Structures are given as C-alpha cells and as structure tokens.
C-alpha cells in the first residue's frame, strides 16, 4: 500500500487558468495560501520578489485573489519559496478548479463491496484495524478492531474523525487524552485536512467542516501558524497512545493509502508495533 500520491508536478498546460475569475465561495484560495507561505517565512513582498522573480505588486494581487497567476508563475512561486512535494501539490490543487465531493452515501455504497467487507473481517482476525474515510473525514466503514483501539471515546460508524479529534470549543477533544503526543498528532491532522479542504474547497460539506473546525483553537493555531501539508503518514513515526488504565503508552504503525478505484477514499491501517522510543534502553551494554 502506498501512503503518498505523486501529484507534485505541474499540471498539464490545458488546465492553465490565467484570466479566470477567482473563487469567492472557497474556504481557502491560492492567494490566501501564498500569503500564508510568505508570512510564515517572514518575507516582505519585495523580498518575495527577489526569491520568485515575480513583482511585489503582482504578488499582492495574487495574495488578495485579484488575479490567478499563469502556470509558469505558479512554478516560480513553488521554486522561490522552496516548497516541498506536499506543499507544491497543495499549490497546484488550488491553481486547478475544485473537485466535486461525492456524498457519504455514494462513497459508502462503493466501498462496501463483498470483497472489501471480507477483507475487513480478515484484518480483524489478525488484530489489525482499518477504517475507510471520505475526503471530509466521515467514517464509511471500519473493522471492529478500529473501535476497540479507541474504546469508550464516542466514535461510531457515522462519526466524523476530524470533528471527533478537533471539536468546536468549548467541547473537549476525546482524542487528546489518548494521545501521547497530542500536539504533534494535531499538527499532522491539520496538515492532512489542509489538503482535503483545498481540493474540495467549494463543496458545501467541506465548507461546513471548515467552519466547525475553525471553532477549535488547535485547528486555527496550526492553520494560521504552520504551512504543514500531508497526504499520508511516515510509517517510521508510530501513533503513540496512552493506556486507559494508566500503564505505559503503547504504539501502532499507522499506514495510509488511497484506493485505486475510488480515489476519493483513503484507508487508514493500524497494527500494534514495538516503539523504540517508548521501550527503555538496555543500560547493561554501557
């Protein structure tokens, strides 16, 4: 299973949008993203001009969504700001028209085939947890081991995992007490959500999700202060959970994958793993 998709390259020329009218109903835009990137690096517009080769006045027009840059200008922004592959992919997604978000019912019907349901049962028998989420992070279907991994936390088959983890204030997060690294995991989740929000930015479901998440201080903090973008998970970084009984934390390997025949759906597969950062070192060798 792959945990990334290669969409970091420039889009085909036929998608160039120079002269198109900027989207006014989107919750994120190419302009707002470019402003966030520039301000993250503490650059003035004249300094950004030196790095990108685009005039400061034109950068201002881009950031204020008064114009959509030509394809080669987007390439210059990516190169000038030294964006990584995930950040570049987000930039191109915001340059391209938004994608239609299928309904939860439609995606749930497509993913719950006989073969996939059989696979879920097999994974449960192997003590592995798998959950399929739609782009707005609604649960479509999951193994019973997924719910067992997070017992008594309010997760159910119709839950939205993003809102469960980052609920509107003042509601407490059911996820936070379970996480050994809540800030790190919150930052990763917001990085994942940023990609979803960008791609489906004009879909009513995503707009509602964004406004609800914006009532969570951790979400707004990371959205406003970081430029992290994620489309998968580093499998070398385990998900560390605290034991409800107060014993030492334990860890899972968490693997993310896109579904080849249903690209809108992402799977999250987890299994118990040995975490060298949690196991005490053997001091007898020193």
Q: Is the pLDDT of residue 30 over 50?
A: yes
Please report which confidence band the pLDDT of residue 13 belongs to, taking 50, 70 and 90 as the band edges. Answer: very low
Give me the mean pLDDT over the 51-63 stretch: 97
pLDDT at 4: 42
* Region 48-76 average pLDDT: 96
Distances (CA, A) of 79 to 8, 32, 53, 157: 12, 18, 10, 43
Q: What is the pTM of this model?
A: 0.85
> Which residues, other chains included, contact 202 with Cβ-Cβ below 8 Å and sequence gap of 6+?
23, 25, 26, 98
pLDDT band at 23 (very low <50, low <70, confident <90, very high): low
To the nearest whole number, what is the mean pLDDT of the chain?
Answer: 87
CA–CA gap between residue 165 and residue 159 (Å, rounded)? 10
Please give the backbone phi and psi of residue 122, each rounded to the nearest 5 degrees, phi first: -65, -40
- Supply the pLDDT for residue 93: 97
What pLDDT is stored for residue 149 in this prediction?
Answer: 86
130/249: higher pLDDT: 130
- The Cα–Cα gap between 64 and 236 comes to 39
pLDDT of 223 > 60? The answer is yes
Domains of the chain: 13-95 (1.10.260.40), 104-273 (3.30.450.180)
Predicted confidence at residue 132, as pLDDT, reads 97
Examine the pLDDT at 78 and tell me if it is beyond 90.
yes
111-123 mean pLDDT: 95
Look up residue 141 and give its two tokens.
Answer: 């279907």
């Amino acid at each position: 299973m792959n945990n990334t998709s290669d969409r970091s390259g420039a889009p085909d020329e036929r998608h160039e949008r120079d002269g198109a009218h900027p989207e006014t109903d989107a919750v994120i835009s190419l302009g707002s993203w470019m402003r966030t990137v520039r301000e993250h690096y503490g650059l003035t517009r004249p300094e950004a001009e030196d790095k990108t080769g685009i005039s400061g006045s034109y950068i201002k027009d881009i950031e204020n969504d008064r114009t959509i840059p030509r394809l080669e200008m987007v390439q210059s922004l990516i190169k000038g700001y030294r964006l990584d592959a995930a950040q570049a992919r987000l930039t191109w997604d915001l340059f391209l028209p938004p994608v239609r978000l299928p309904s939860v019912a439609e995606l749930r019907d497509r993913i719950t085939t006989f073969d996939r349901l059989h696979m879920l049962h097999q994974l449960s028998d192997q003590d592995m947890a798998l959950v399929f989420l739609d782009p707005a992070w609604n649960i479509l279907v999951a193994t019973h081991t997924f719910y067992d991994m997070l017992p008594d936390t309010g997760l159910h088959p119709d839950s939205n995992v993003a809102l469960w983890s980052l609920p509107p204030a003042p509601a407490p997060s059911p996820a936070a007490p379970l996480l050994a690294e809540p800030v790190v995991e919150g930052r990763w989740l917001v990085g994942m959500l940023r990609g979803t929000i960008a791609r489906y930015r004009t879909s009513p479901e995503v707009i509602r999700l964004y406004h609800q998440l914006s009532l969570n201080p951790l979400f707004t903090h990371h959205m406003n202060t970081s430029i992290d973008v994620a489309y998968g998970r580093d499998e070398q970084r385990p998900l560390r959970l605290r034991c409800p009984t107060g014993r030492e934390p334990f860890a899972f390997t968490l693997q993310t994958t896109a579904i080849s025949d249903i690209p809108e759906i992402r799977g999250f597969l987890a299994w118990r793993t040995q975490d060298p950062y949690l196991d005490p070192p053997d001091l007898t060798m020193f």
